Amino acid sequence: MHFPRTPSFHLRGKRALVTGASSGIGLACAVALAEHGAEVTLAARSGDKLREIADHMAAENWDTDILELDVSNVSATADRVRQAGPFDVLVNSAGLARHSAALETTEEDFDAVADLNIKGAYFLTKAVAEGLVAAGRAGSLINISSQMAKVGGIDRAVYAATKHAVEGFTKSMAIEWGPLGIRVNTICPTFIVTPLTRQTFDRPERRAWVEEKIKLGRIGEVEDIMGAAVFLASEASALITGTALMIDGGWTAD
């Protein structure tokens, strides 16, 4: 009898670019991909921090290098990705949040968040896809989105707007690039304990709001994202594109 076999989760022979890799979700995803055999390029604005991380990862016998990159600088990012690529896997975890009541939103804050979360993410994904197309290779491109791409939230009108936009361009790119073997998906975490969310958890009323919304009864940790990144990067998700993987503890189940 012929039994089906589970597709492999290994990433040996794959080159992965992880932005926002100097901390939080980006760093966790970089570690997860490296653990599963990928050659990981760590990208962020802070070269010193990246070098420190790369040294520690090398001590684990993981294959890594670094790329100083400001994703909001579209032209420079495209040039660096073109020179360093092609990459089989992208995890775009570079992001920015400036929370305020909608009536208090400033144009400066709106532009800063949108420039990185929408414009930067869009053109980074495009740049990696261009490298794959030129090389005639398939790939898996993953944008770190948010549960706020599916709902709204207090003081999060701008942030939620940018993440809704990420979902829109991800679906459209998935449709266009599917025939080329390039998959494009998002991971949508709930509130995860990172430096980016510290300002929320420092406010007791906001922490209570978060904990009440998460049906599993706990705030997320970066480890909760790592398996999803490996899954979407690997052949185990070969028929998945244009979708959002919710890691929200049931927040959006209502």
Query: What are the boundaries of each domain within the chain?
Result: 15-246
Asked whether 29 and 18 are in contact (CB, 8 A), the reply is yes
Beta bridge partners of 65: 41
Cis peptide before 86 (omega within 30 of 0): yes
Based on the residue annotation, tell me whether 122 is a catalytic residue of this protein: no
User: Which letter does DSSP use for residue 151 in this model?
Assistant: S
pTM (2 d.p.): 0.94
- Of 62, 123, 159, 177, the catalytic one is 159
- Per DSSP, the residues of 81-146 read HHHH---SEEEE-------B-GGG--HHHHHHHHIIIIIIHHHHHHHHHHHHHHHT--EEEEEE--
Q: Phi, psi at residue 101, to the nearest 5°?
A: -60, 145
Contacts of 147 by beta carbon, 8 Å cutoff, 6+ apart: 188, 189, 190, 246, 248, 251, 252
Superfamily covering domain 15-246:
NAD(P)-binding Rossmann-like Domain (3.40.50.720)
> Which residues in the chain show pLDDT less than 50?
none
Question: What was the pLDDT predicted at 140?
Answer: 98
Question: What was the pLDDT predicted at 250?
Answer: 95
